[in-house]
Structure 1
Amino acid sequence: MSDLDVLHTVASTRVDHGGPSRSVPFLCEALADQGASVRLVTAVPESNSTDEFILPGAPVDTCTVEETGGLQQALRSPLAFYRALRNEVEQAPPALLHDHGVWLPSNAAAALVAWKEGVPLVVSTRGMLTAWALRHNRWKKRLAWTAYQERVLRQATLFHVTSQEEVDALRELGFDQAAAVIPNGVPLPDGSDGLSASTDEHRALFLSRIHPKKGLPMLIEAWADVAPENWVLELVGPSEGGHRKKLERQVRRAGLEDVIQFSGPVADDEKWDVYRRADLFVLPTHSENFGIVVAEALAAGVPVITTRGTPWNDLEEYGCGWWVEPDVEAIAGALGQATALNDTERAEMGRRGRQLVEEQYSWSGVAEKMVAAYQWVLAGGRPPDYIRRA
């Protein structure tokens, strides 16, 4: 395995930049544990910044490009990112370059380096080509599509996706390259054994970015409809584009200030305690390629409500949650059922969820599949059964 040298690129590993900021460092570590030689090129905050970011530990070799004036400014002029990446490739050409994400100039920089150096390119689309994602900020994405993004995707030797929905989205856009359907993994927290001790007040938790994509207006309306007795709803995460202020106004208009609480972002090493304090986790999202927070909640032993905008049909199959349409009525129905259960019933659902994560979403299993996909790209032969070809 030591001859498998993979260079990963991702725009940022800042905690408040969504799922890839967590999953990419974990993937790099898991690949290294499988014996691959792994490098990561990413941007990090300026040295005097208080922003929290995640980097993989040894033996992953990480090249960090310092942000100057914030990530968006740095990525509008991605010359430093391009130079750092090209230097890495020229010094030690990798067998593969694996780029994560879509729409950012850093993705164009990664594709350009791969093309110039003749290195096969793997692209993780990270749910950014689904119908909802394409509608959000539509005009900016159309400009990016014309400027560079379509050419970047045409260059990919292999796509990495986490659900069949992403494969379908690629085909609808006219891309016929092979796609490896490999879910994200999740680290298993220590000492997680079902829900926290019962109290008179129960807690439902949302933990993710406070962003229009996450469907929180639907959740607030559904909560007002159900009005579960002795329950509070806690919304945890960083606000983007002033979205939290809009939600706070909605909460005030509905008279729910006493039962819906807003919290800021939580440090990565503190999030497991936040999960364990919850009796129920809710992600009312419009669209997710995976939904890492769903896996984390299950790993912490908490049953989950999420929508069919995620690929989490396992919730129903394993009896550890509710998988419903992304609308107010369906979310309210699931809330009514979940909050009507007793503590023992919810705890049993949580234990089944923990077992599901242990069996199917370990990082070691994810890395094994990714290594096999890389080897198929390099050597050919019969593809693994999770490779989808047009």
Structure 2
Amino acid sequence: MKIFFSAGSFFPAQIGGPDNIMYWQAKALTQRGHQVWVTTTDDGIGPEIEKDRWLTTDFGRGIYVKTAIHYVPLKLLLASLMPLWRCDIVHLSNLYYPSSWLLAPLALLFGKKIVWTIHGELDPDAMIYSTGRKKAVLNFIRMMTKRIVFHSTCDAETQYAKNQFGSGVRIVQLPYFMELTPRLTRTPGDYWLYVGRIHPKKAIERLIEALPLVRIKKRLKIIGDYQNEYGQQLIELANRIGYGDQIDFLGHKKGTEKYQLMADSYCMVMPSHTENFGIVVTEALTQGTPVIASLGTPWKILSDRKAGFWSSNEVQPLAETLNQMADLDSATYEQYRKNATKLVEEYDITKNIQQWEAVYQQVLDKKL
């Protein structure tokens, strides 16, 4: 098959989870012998990667176009015309990024099949920002939905798509698969860990407020760019409740440094109000690190497999879950770590890429 991916940013950029998710998928498809093209901007890309030129990569043929204004990606659209003409399947990412909703009608005009990954952008907590712009884009997309197959990662996201596009909208529901990071040598650290965007939807303030209620005291390390209004509010909150000296705001981390912090941590906590998936959960699991994830995430399996806990993110219940985790005896804790390593194997892209091949074939055969 010939598959064309287009996104506003892409690996090695680390602006968000989709940068890696789409890279892992494109790479796995290329390894399976499919012809893959990727067009993206130079957002988040360093000088080590050549711009405005088609490159032969481990994920197929790719181009990073210089884009002075991120939301005016004219060069990206032009670069997309060649692969758009040659491909069988167009796999779009980012609902609201201009290149996506402008490429969609072009793809349909060329008679191409479209798969569109939602990436959590229809979550109610995400819809409250830039509401007017998002409504306009969604109205435009609604005119094409009968000819698009959307990709969701969980039951809640599937329902959000049906709420927006109608109950008859075509949806394929698959979790995100990932390239499993090799397990690093662990130096046990007695700290809780948060990894992700510093944004109100992540409910990090509830994790901070829960700390004084935890019997066994541990530090909290927070990975993410905190140089924004919400980040400063978190720092002020920590100081106000007397925990400023027990919380480390580490800023943005990536690569081996991020995974080492995951490996060394006692437990990672994702207290978000909502998540369509939460790729950081699987990243932590690759290091054998248990995870506490909120009920607003699709991670009930953590409790089912004893690889962590699925918890309310209200302060008191969250504190009780942290206490449960902290109270585990050493043998039980080590079993949780083994369970985490075993669980994440189910999300290995190399073992699951056939599921995506089947989806693409069904789309081409008009069976989906």
Shared fold by TM > 0.5? yes
* Residue aligned with 2:245, SS: coil
How far apart are residue 206 of structure 1 and its match?
A: 0.6
Q: Is the 8 A contact 2:118 2:151 kept in 1?
A: yes
Q: State the alpha-carbon separation in 2 of the partners of residues 56 and 210 from structure 1.
A: 35
Q: Read off the aligned partner of 1:43 and give its amino acid letter.
A: T
> Quick one: structure 1 residues 211 and 184, their matched pair in 2 at CA, closer, same or farther if it must change by over 3 Å?
same
> Quick one: structure 1 residues 190 and 356, their matched pair in 2 at CA, closer, same or farther if it must change by over 3 Å?
same
1:365 to 338, 351, 362: 351
> Quick one: structure 1 residues 33 and 18, their matched pair in 2 at CA, closer, same or farther if it must change by over 3 Å?
same
1:205-220 matches, within 5 Å, as 205-220=193-208
1:293 aligns with 280
1:1-390 matches, within 5 Å, as 4-13=1-10, 15-45=13-43, 57-58=57-58, 60-68=60-68, 73-75=69-71, 77-90=72-85, 93-146=86-139, 148-151=140-143, 154=145, 156-175=147-166, 176-192=168-184, 196-198=186-188, 202-226=190-214, 228-229=216-217, 231-239=218-226, 241-358=228-345, 360-381=346-367
How far apart are residue 133 of structure 1 and its match?
A: 1.9
Q: State the alpha-carbon separation in 1 of the partners of residues 194 and 44 from structure 2.
A: 30
Q: Is the 8 A contact 1:46 1:66 kept in 2?
A: no
Q: What's the CA shift string for 1:134-181, capped at 9, x where partnerless? A: 2244344234434x34445x2652111111211111112233232111
1:386 aligns with none
Q: Read off the aligned partner of 1:58 and give its amino acid letter.
A: D
Stretches of structure 2 lacking an aligned partner (at least 5 in a row): 50-54
Q: State the alpha-carbon separation in 2 of the partners of residues 26 and 16 from structure 1.
A: 13
* Residue aligned with 2:244, SS: coil
How far apart are residue 87 of structure 1 and its match?
A: 3.2
How far apart are residue 324 of structure 1 and its match?
A: 1.4
Stretches of structure 1 lacking an aligned partner (at least 5 in a row): 384-390
* Residue aligned with 1:102, SS: coil
Q: Read off the aligned partner of 1:25 and give its amino acid letter.
A: Y
Q: What's the CA shift string for 1:194-215, capped at 9, x where partnerless? A: xx355xx611111111111211
Q: State the alpha-carbon separation in 1 of the partners of residues 19 and 301 from structure 2.
A: 24
Q: State the alpha-carbon separation in 1 of the partners of residues 48 and 295 from structure 2.
A: 36
Q: Is the 8 A contact 2:28 2:59 kept in 1?
A: no
Q: State the alpha-carbon separation in 2 of the partners of residues 46 and 346 from structure 1.
A: 38
Q: What's the CA shift string for 1:316-339, capped at 9, x where partnerless? A: 111111111232222111111111
Q: Is the 8 A contact 1:81 1:109 kept in 2?
A: no
Q: Is the 8 A contact 1:78 1:109 kept in 2?
A: no
Q: Is the 8 A contact 2:210 2:319 kept in 1?
A: yes
Normalised by the length of structure 2, the TM-score is 0.91
Q: State the alpha-carbon separation in 2 of the partners of residues 56 and 323 from structure 1.
A: 42
* Residue aligned with 1:12, SS: coil
How far apart are residue 186 of structure 1 and its match?
A: 2.5
> Quick one: structure 1 residues 59 and 333, their matched pair in 2 at CA, closer, same or farther if it must change by over 3 Å?
closer
* Residue aligned with 2:134, SS: helix
* Residue aligned with 1:173, SS: helix
Q: Read off the aligned partner of 2:214 and give its amino acid letter.
A: V
Normalised by the length of structure 1, the TM-score is 0.86
Q: Is the 8 A contact 1:28 1:56 kept in 2?
A: no
Q: State the alpha-carbon separation in 1 of the partners of residues 205 and 233 from structure 2.
A: 9
Q: Is the 8 A contact 1:26 1:56 kept in 2?
A: no
User: How many residues in Structure 1 have an aligned counterpart in Structure 2?
Assistant: 362
* Residue aligned with 1:331, SS: helix
How far apart are residue 315 of structure 1 and its match?
A: 0.4
* Residue aligned with 1:316, SS: helix
Q: State the alpha-carbon separation in 1 of the partners of residues 21 and 32 from structure 2.
A: 16
> Quick one: structure 1 residues 156 and 306, their matched pair in 2 at CA, closer, same or farther if it must change by over 3 Å?
farther
Q: State the alpha-carbon separation in 2 of the partners of residues 284 and 261 from structure 1.
A: 17
> Quick one: structure 1 residues 47 and 33, their matched pair in 2 at CA, closer, same or farther if it must change by over 3 Å?
closer
Q: Read off the aligned partner of 2:296 and give its amino acid letter.
A: G
Q: State the alpha-carbon separation in 1 of the partners of residues 361 and 172 from structure 2.
A: 12
Higher relative contact order (CA 8 A, sep 6+): 1
> Quick one: structure 1 residues 191 and 136, their matched pair in 2 at CA, closer, same or farther if it must change by over 3 Å?
same
> Quick one: structure 1 residues 16 and 328, their matched pair in 2 at CA, closer, same or farther if it must change by over 3 Å?
farther
